[in-house]
């Protein structure tokens, strides 16, 4: 590898070096122009850069266009039930701290049917990356209103326009106890998308990443103009935030400085209306992780277990 | 005892210290308002009896509310203990002796037909002197009614006697009562003292001493004042016995199966199994996860199982309903998993604390589409232990969820059984992390028996994406008609393959006869007892008890054909012929009967009811007598 013999090198070398393609499997079946494609290739790149062992990596999803994601990964995958990716992912991680766990979920999957699990998964704060593909519409079932749809969204369930204000996934997540990482990015800004997912993968807890995602089929208007206009985004900038190459940073028309340890400011930025804020809203690496509790007594031998049970049975024995 | 006086105070003290009458068994109840320690008293009485080598069955009497008002008729909280010279397998029929801390709670039990003419009621008499006139009146009226009903009443100055030892009789009266009944039934004083020391082992010595003093006081008072006492000879027990309830047995079975995760959401009457695990599991290498709801509980368990740590989820009716979609996924994607459903009265929230066997058809068929999975029903507390171990093994061997159906009766019933000899082969081994053979597909269904092996995350070359969508052998989403047909066949054939390994069920009684009673789950003891009594009266009746409900044990049709009539006995709802509106055409059968009729095309009848009570041997015996025209 690299023309070097492993014994000539003092740093341990991985047995094989995997390229981004090594993480890909099956041609993605999303519509042309769907935001899913760029997210997928970005995730392949992050996996490559982290050199995740594919056999030690699990992508868990629910049901929806976005939830097809695991089928396009060469890792292990779990494409489960609508709304239930979180409990499955948490169960995978609980007694398997050696696995890298990702959750891929849609706005209906996470913020509607799975909303209860979403709240609790944030609170469990287990080490995993959550990618919320938010296209503000139900894609797979063909254009119904989503909890994140803007008021007035014309859909098949609200032909005269939806009537309720949208739920704000960033604000909601920020309000949950034990939240430890909240970021926002978009599918059409590959550099920011990469830097965000990469930062999320490095975080020692649950990192929640909302990806503002284009659905050219059912939400053509919403993000099409935004994607073409560099002025549609506001970059949240900080040394502890999502750090971009200065040349790329310059392409943002709106930049505000935001310290990701400041949750109150994060809440203010989450309410930004004119532009889409992207960056790291909040990070706290100190919060407790429920997976540490789950794994605290791993590895007992059968003989040890049997002996412990025998001791317990003594209390029940005449 | 026949001549028990109406008031102990008036009794001629020359009667004291009578020599004991030898009896086969006793059914004793202690009832009170909740929080008075009746259950602790009865559990101790049961444990002492088990230690003396008696057969024991204990069942709690639970009010539906946590804190029902004091002295209310529905508020009866307490315990029934059946102690015998032989193995005791059920709660029996009417009680022989009842200790009541107030007279009102007896009404609830009377309406449940717990007592009969001649039942001895030992009643706290402080209410006769109550400052409140209405209480004095209630007390006098109740006693008059009890007398009318033919119960033998003995008024006991429990409060007065306790106050000689403690300042607050409310605390500790239960131990005084324990002393009294231990005298009545000739329980060994030393073993009783040891039991009390055990209960209060975490408390100060002062508290232990005062409780022992209360016990002794009750014991001596009974000796001096009562003109009856008994002896219940012990059986010879060779092996060590453990004493526990069905939920504790489930918990021990979980640990002894090597399962390392119980993922649950609290629900009566299942919760105490998880409580027990929460107390002990960590030392046996496991953890309890309390999820945010039942859906999450099973999803979490499935995640762990998928990752190689087969998990258990424990629930009851409403929880099973919520888990349904995930059970379908586990069937579809062939994820091993153990699901315990401690049945309670349904539908909906139903009767949370009461027994029912109403979830058999839900376990079989609740999922949409065809979702075959293994369903087992332990019939004893000992089986609750062993069946979890079996379930974990079957789940992995057949790559399937396994549902264990127990019920509130098994969950709270306490019984001694031979101490399990923990066998290392019961335990799940470490997760296989060796490289997967690259050319083996994740659902490489054996053409004949449908079985396949699954890769586990961490295994190189085994990577696949599990899906609940129709899929092919490579776990690729597949909508081709052939592929769907084939995968359904594979999942069904696994069950057939498992069925072929099952043994024909054994019959209690003759192989042929006039009536065969078929039961499942917690009714075993009551059915067997009734059948044995009926056989002693000359009835040609036998019993068969099913443990495997899906797939069913083999040979049923052939066995059934040897009896003139086959009838299930179940604790669930069925229509009765002759009731208004009910015709042979529209009659709805009890669940096992319904299912066996469909399976065997035989005219199987049923006897079932939903009084929220365990099946009693007397009720089954009456039914047999009626069916076979025995007077
Ligand atoms: C229990 C259940 N209810 C409904 C559905 C149908 N369903 C599938 S995906 C979906 C919504 C998808 O929207 P979203 O989660 O936003 O994902 P997208 O397709 O937009 O990526 C619905 C309602 C289902 N599969 N399961
Ligand atoms: S419908 Fe929308 S979200 Fe779904 S694949 Fe097509 S573009 Fe993507």
Q: List chain B residues with pLDDT less than 70.
A: 1-17, 64
Give contacts of B 451-470 with A, CB under 8 A. 455, 457-469
CATH topology of domain B507-627: Rossmann fold (3.40.50)
Same domain, A123 and A193: yes
Distance between A102 CA and the closest CA of chain B, angstroms? 13
Same domain, A301 and A230: no
Structure tokens at B242: 């453990």
**What is the number of structural domains in chain A?**
2
Same domain, A204 and A299: no
Distance between A277 CA and the closest CA of chain B, angstroms? 32
> Domain residues for A84?
20-287
Nearest CA to ligand 2 atom 6: A31
Same domain, A130 and A151: yes
> Of B285, B304, B309, which is closest to A305 when you measure between CB atoms?
B285
Same domain, A308 and A198: no
Q: Calculate how far, in angstroms, residue A139's C-alpha sits from the geometric centre of ligand 2.
A: 5
A-interface mutation test, from B198, B307, B382, B389, most A Cβ less than 10 A away: B307
Is B287 at the interface with chain A, CB within 8 A? yes
Percent of chain B exceeding pLDDT 70 equals 97
Distance between A154 CA and the closest CA of chain B, angstroms? 30
Contact A312 B283 (CB under 8 A): yes
Same domain, A108 and A146: yes
Same domain, A208 and A149: yes
Q: Calculate how far, in angstroms, residue B127's C-alpha sits from the geometric centre of ligand 2.
A: 75
What are the boundaries of each domain within chain B?
2-231, 242-420, 433-501, 507-627
Nearest atom (ligand 2) to Cα of A30: 5
Average pLDDT, chain B: 94
Is A238 at the interface with chain B, CB within 8 A? no
Q: How far is CA B563 from the centre of its chain?
A: 30
Same domain, A200 and A63: yes
Indicate whether A9 belongs to any domain.
no
Return the residue of B nearest to A312 by Cα.
Answer: B280
Contact A318 B280 (CB under 8 A): no
Strand order in the sheet with B605-608: B507-508, B541-546, B513-520, B563-570, B605-608
Average pLDDT per consecutive 10 residues, chain A (318 residues; last block may be shorter): 45 74 96 97 98 98 98 98 98 98 98 98 98 98 97 98 98 98 98 98 98 96 90 97 97 97 98 97 98 96 98 90
Indicate whether A45 belongs to any domain.
yes
Residues 6+ apart with CB under 8 A from B360: B375, B405, B520, B549, B572, B591, B592, B595
Same domain, A196 and A49: yes
Structure tokens at A176: 């949950």
Q: How far is CA A307 from the centre of its chain?
A: 42
Distance between B455 CA and the closest CA of chain A, angstroms? 9
Nearest CA to ligand 2 atom 5: A30
Contact A313 B420 (CB under 8 A): yes
Q: What is the pLDDT of residues B378-427, one digit of tens each?
A: 999 999 999 999 999 999 999 999 999 999 999 999 999 999 999 999 99
pTM score: 0.94
DSSP state string for A133-181: EE-SEETTTTSEE-TTSPTT---SS-TT---SPPP-HHHHHHTSTT--E
What local confidence, expressed as pLDDT, does residue B16 receive?
Answer: 60
Q: What is the pLDDT of residues B595-626, one digit of tens each?
A: 999 999 999 999 999 999 999 999 999 999 99
Indicate whether A10 belongs to any domain.
no
Is the fold of B242-420 the same as that of B507-627?
Answer: yes
Cα Rg, chain A, nearest whole Å: 21
Same domain, A281 and A301: no
Cα Rg, chain B, nearest whole Å: 27
Indicate whether A95 belongs to any domain.
yes
Same domain, A238 and A302: no
How far apart, in whole angstroms, are the C-alpha atoms of residue B549 and residue B553? Answer: 7
Ligand nearest to the CA of A157: 1
What local confidence, expressed as pLDDT, does residue A14 receive?
Answer: 53
Q: Calculate how far, in angstroms, residue A83's C-alpha sits from the geometric centre of ligand 1.
A: 8
Domain B242-420 has CATH 3.40.50.300: no
Indicate whether A158 belongs to any domain.
yes
Same domain, A296 and A242: no
Tell the CATH superfamily of the B2-231 domain. Answer: Pyruvate-ferredoxin oxidoreductase, PFOR, domain III (3.40.920.10)
What local confidence, expressed as pLDDT, does residue B326 receive?
Answer: 98
- Cα distance from N-terminal residue to C-terminal residue, chain A: 66
What local confidence, expressed as pLDDT, does residue B9 receive?
Answer: 41
Element (DSSP H or E) covering residue B298: helix B294-306
How far apart, in whole angstroms, are the C-alpha atoms of residue B459 and residue B306? Answer: 12
> Of A76, A87, A95, which is closest to B464 when you measure between CB atoms?
A76
């Amino acid at each position: 590898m690299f023309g070097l013999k492993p014994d000539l090198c003092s740093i341990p070398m991985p047995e094989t070096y995997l390229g981004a393609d090594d993480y890909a499997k099956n041609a993605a079946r999303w519509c042309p122009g769907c935001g899913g494609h760029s997210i997928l290739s970005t995730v392949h790149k992050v996996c490559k850069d982290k050199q995740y062992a594919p056999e030690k990596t699990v992508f868990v999803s629910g049901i929806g266009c976005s939830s097809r994601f695991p089928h396009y990964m060469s890792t292990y995958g779990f494409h489960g039930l609508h709304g239930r990716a979180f409990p499955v992912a948490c169960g995978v991680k609980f007694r398997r701290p050696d696995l890298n766990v990702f959750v891929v979920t849609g706005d209906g999957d996470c913020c509607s049917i799975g909303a209860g699990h979403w709240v609790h998964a944030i609170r469990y704060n287990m080490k995993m990356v959550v990618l919320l593909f938010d296209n503000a519409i139900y894609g797979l079932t063909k254009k119904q209103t989503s909890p994140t749809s803007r008021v007035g969204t014309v859909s098949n369930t609200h032909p005269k326009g939806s009537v309720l204000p949208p739920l704000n996934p960033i604000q909601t997540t920020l309000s949950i106890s034990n939240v430890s990482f909240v970021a926002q990015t978009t599918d059409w800004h590959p550099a920011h998308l990469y830097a965000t997912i990469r930062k999320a993968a490095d975080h020692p807890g649950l990192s929640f990443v909302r990806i503002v995602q284009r659905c050219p089929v059912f939400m053509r208007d919403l993000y099409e103009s935004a994607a073409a206009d560099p002025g549609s985004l506001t970059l949240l900038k900080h040394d502890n935030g999502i750090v971009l190459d200065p040349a790329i940073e310059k392409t943002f028309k709106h930049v505000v400085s935001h310290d990701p340890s400041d949750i109150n400011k994060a809440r203010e930025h989450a309410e930004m209306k004119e532009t889409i804020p992207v960056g790291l809203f909040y990070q706290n690496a100190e919060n407790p992780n429920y997976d540490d509790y789950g794994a605290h007594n791993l590895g007992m031998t059968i003989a040890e277990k049997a002996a412990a049970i025998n001791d317990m049975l003594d209390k029940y024995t005449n | 005892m026949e001549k028990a006086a109406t008031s102990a105070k008036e009794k001629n003290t020359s009667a004291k210290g009578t020599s004991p009458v030898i009896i086969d068994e006793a059914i004793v109840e202690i009832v009170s308002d909740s929080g008075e320690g009746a259950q602790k008293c009865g559990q101790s009485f049961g444990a002492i009896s088990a230690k003396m080598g008696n057969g024991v069955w204990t069942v709690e009497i639970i009010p539906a509310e946590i804190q029902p008002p004091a002295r209310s008729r529905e508020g009866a909280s307490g315990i029934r203990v059946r102690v015998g010279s032989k193995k005791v397998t059920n709660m029996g029929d009417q009680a022989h002796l009842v200790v009541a801390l107030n007279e009102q709670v007896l009404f609830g039990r009377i309406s449940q037909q717990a007592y009969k003419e001649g039942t001895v009621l030992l009643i706290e008499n402080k209410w006769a002197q109550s400052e409140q006139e209405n209480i004095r009146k209630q007390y006098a009226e109740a006693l008059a009614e009890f007398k009318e009903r033919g119960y033998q009443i003995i008024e006991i100055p429990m409060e007065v006697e306790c106050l000689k030892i403690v300042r607050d009789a409310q605390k500790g009266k239960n131990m005084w009562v324990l002393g009294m009944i231990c005298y009545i039934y000739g329980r060994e004083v030393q073993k009783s003292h040891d039991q009390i020391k055990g209960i209060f082992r975490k408390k100060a010595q002062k508290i232990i001493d005062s409780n022992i003093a209360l016990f002794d006081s009750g014991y001596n008072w009974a000796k001096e004042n009562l003109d009856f006492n008994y002896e219940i000879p012990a059986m010879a027990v060779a092996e060590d016995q453990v004493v526990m309830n069905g939920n504790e047995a489930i918990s021990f079975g979980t640990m002894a199966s090597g399962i390392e995760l119980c993922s649950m959401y609290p629900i009566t009457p299942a919760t105490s199994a998880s409580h027990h695990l929460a107390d002990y599991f960590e030392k046996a290498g496991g953890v309890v996860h309390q999820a945010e709801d039942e859906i999450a509980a099973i999803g979490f368990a499935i995640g762990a199982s998928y990752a190689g740590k087969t998990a258990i989820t424990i629930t009851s009716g409403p929880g099973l309903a919520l888990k349904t979609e995930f059970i379908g996924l586990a069937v579809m994607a062939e994820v091993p998993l153990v699901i315990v459903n401690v049945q309670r009265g349904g539908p909906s929230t139903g009767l949370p604390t009461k027994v029912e066997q109403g979830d058999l058809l839900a376990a079989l068929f609740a999922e949409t589409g065809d979702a075959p999975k293994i369903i087992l029903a332990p019939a004893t507390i000992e089986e609750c232990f062993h069946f979890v171990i079996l379930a974990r093994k079957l789940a992995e061997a057949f790559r399937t969820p396994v549902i264990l159906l127990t019920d509130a009766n098994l969950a709270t019933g306490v019984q001694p059984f031979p101490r399990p000899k923990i066998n290392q082969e019961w335990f799940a081994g470490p997760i296989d992390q060796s490289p997967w053979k690259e050319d083996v597909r994740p659902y490489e269904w054996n053409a004949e028996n449908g079985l396949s092996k699954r890769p586990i995350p961490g295994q190189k070359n085994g990577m696949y994406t599990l899906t609940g969508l129709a899929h092919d052998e490579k776990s690729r989403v597949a909508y081709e008609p052939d592929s769907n047909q084939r995968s359904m066949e594979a999942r069904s054939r696994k069950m057939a393959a498992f069925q072929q390994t099952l043994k024909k069920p054994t019959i209690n009684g003759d192989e042929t006869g006039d009536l065969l009673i078929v039961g499942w789950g917690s009714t075993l003891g009551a059915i067997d007892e009734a059948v044995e009594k009926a056989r002693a009266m000359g009835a040609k009746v036998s019993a068969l008890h099913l443990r495997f409900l899906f797939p069913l044990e083999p040979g049923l049709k052939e066995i059934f054909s040897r009896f003139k009539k086959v009838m299930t006995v179940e604790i669930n709802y069925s229509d009765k012929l002759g009731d208004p509106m009910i015709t042979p055409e529209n009659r709805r059968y009890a669940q096992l009967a319904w299912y066996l009729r469909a399976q065997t095309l035989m005219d199987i009848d049923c006897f079932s009811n939903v009084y929220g009570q365990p099946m009693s041997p007397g009720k089954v015996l009456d039914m047999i007598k009626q069916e076979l025209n025995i007077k």
